[in-house]
Amino acid sequence: MIRTLKAPRNPDLLGRVIAALRLHTEQRRPRNAGDRALATALKKAKVAPKAARRLVGNLEERPRRVRDRLLGEVAKPGYAPAPRPEPRPMPTLRTEIPVSAMVGGTAVHGALNEIFSTDPGVDRLPLYTVRYQGVFCQEETSWDRGSSSDEIYVITSVVHIDAAGENITRTERHPQGQGAASYYGDLDDLDERYGPVAAAWQGYSEHPVSVTSVLFEHDEGDPDAYRDEVDAIVKVTIAVLSKLYPPAAVLALAHDTITDAVNWLLGTGDDVISTETVVLPLSTLELYSSLQWSFYIGERRIPVIVNGQTRGFQVAPYSTSLPYHFFTLHQGSGARYVVVFDVERDPPNERPVVLL
């Protein structure tokens, strides 16, 4: 699949990711203490060398004129980033809005410190699980090599900071599970696919959790190879940013850098619809795990018939059977898809969240 290559939002950070991949695959030798520390961090993060080599190879297969025009020096094999980037304004940390708590214009009120704190006497944070639930096709792709339907899969990569201050990444391909196919077939407008329900992340974290989901339309690529490559991209991006910025800034910068890296470094056998990231603070995890599911409601276009002729369309709600607490919206290649997730808590939170 031909991919539309775009100038990166931050060429310096993408260049640092590319240079780190070359460092990890020994295509570039460490030049200073920062390089040596980064090389150690990448080994500790267990970035797969085979996937890293494929990513660099994919970049080098891009047309040279396009690389020179859109990336410049950062794509060249000998590029060595400066020890620290120039100061730049930090983007706002984008957190997921608790959609399922905003029903009919109501808002969540209350003493948040009390609602979101753990119960007295509990000596550890609760165990949270972010679970993948399924996908909904609002509109299928406009072109799929002559096929009348889409073949879709999702790769999730979730990052959290553990008690030791280390960034931990978990990457999964969905659908997953014993006997599950590597992608969903025959998806058309208004189709949905539920499950297999699977954990995208599970852990204890007093810090925000970053959930990245990449939606693919399958053509000729290997979904599991893409999973390994997305995992490498996220781990390298987090390692690079962690050497430069504090944790909150890492999460704020990660989305754009990961999106650029996916666009430039992944192979073109399958089409990337889009890469989306949401950030879930502890308070939001606590809120979601206290709420009942909502069922995702999409839209459908109903023709307006006048005197036997179609005079336009009106939009009406379209109910699905997909339960969710939050979702990511993916648009690209003429398609619009929604990937839905929920949050569980152990022990369960028995305190009600009151909607006023």
Kindly write down the DSSP assignment for every residue of 131-162, as one continuous string: EEEEEEEEE--S-STT-SSEEEEEEEEEEEE-
Here the tokens at position 83 are 């020890």
Average pLDDT in the 98-103 region?
40
Here the tokens at position 271 are 């089409």
Q: Write down the mean pLDDT value for the chain.
A: 84
Closest residue by Cα to residue 210 from 176, 235, 245, 174: 235
Distances (CA, A) of 326 to 119, 131, 260: 25, 10, 24
Query: What integer pLDDT is reported at residue 212 of this predicted model?
Result: 96
Say if residue 330's pLDDT is above 80. Answer: yes
Here the tokens at position 23 are 């460092």
Q: In this predicted structure, which of 9-18, 48-57, 176-185, 229-238 has the lowest mean pLDDT?
A: 176-185
Average pLDDT in the 13-35 region?
93
Closest residue by Cα to residue 10 from 338, 176, 291, 254: 254
Residue where the block lists tokens 């959790």:
209
Average pLDDT in the 85-93 region?
56
Say if residue 2's pLDDT is above 70. Answer: no
Say if residue 60's pLDDT is above 90. Answer: yes
43 or 162: which carries more pLDDT confidence?
43
Task: Band the pLDDT of 83: cuts 50, 70, 90.
Answer: confident
Residue 138 has a CB neighbour count (10 Å cut-off) of 18
330 or 244: which carries more pLDDT confidence?
330
CA–CA distance, 16 with 72 (Å, rounded to integer): 13
CA–CA distance, 303 with 309 (Å, rounded to integer): 9
Q: In this predicted structure, which of 140-149, 225-234, 280-289 has the lowest mean pLDDT?
A: 140-149
Q: What helix, strand, coil percent values describe the chain, rounded to 5?
A: 30, 35, 35
Strand-pair partners of 161: 167
Query: What integer pLDDT is reported at residue 87 of this predicted model?
Result: 54
Task: Band the pLDDT of 119: cuts 50, 70, 90.
Answer: very low
Average pLDDT in the 182-186 region?
91
Average pLDDT in the 293-315 region?
81
Query: What integer pLDDT is reported at residue 268 of this predicted model?
Result: 83
Average pLDDT in the 108-128 region?
53
Query: What integer pLDDT is reported at residue 300 of this predicted model?
Result: 85
Q: pLDDT over 70 for what percent of the chain? A: 84
CA–CA distance, 110 with 88 (Å, rounded to integer): 37
**pLDDT tens figures, 249-298:** 787 789 999 999 999 999 888 999 999 999 999 899 999 999 988 999 99
DSSP letters along 310-351, please?
Answer: EEEEEEEEEEEEEEESEEEEEEETTEEEEEEEEEEEES---S
Peptide bond into 347 cis (omega under 30): yes
Closest residue by Cα to residue 155 from 232, 55, 219: 232
Task: Band the pLDDT of 88: cuts 50, 70, 90.
Answer: low
CA–CA distance, 163 with 328 (Å, rounded to integer): 28
Say if residue 122's pLDDT is above 60. Answer: no
Here the tokens at position 206 are 């007093």
Say if residue 105's pLDDT is above 50. Answer: no
Average pLDDT in the 296-321 region?
83
Query: Please, are residues 171 and 230 in contact by the beta-carbon 8 Å criterion?
Result: yes
Average pLDDT in the 34-61 region?
94
Q: In this predicted structure, which of 82-86, 145-149, 166-170 has the lowest mean pLDDT?
A: 145-149
Q: What are phi and psi of 241, to 5 degrees?
A: -65, -35
Of all helices (H) and strands (E), which one includes residue 297? Answer: strand 294-306
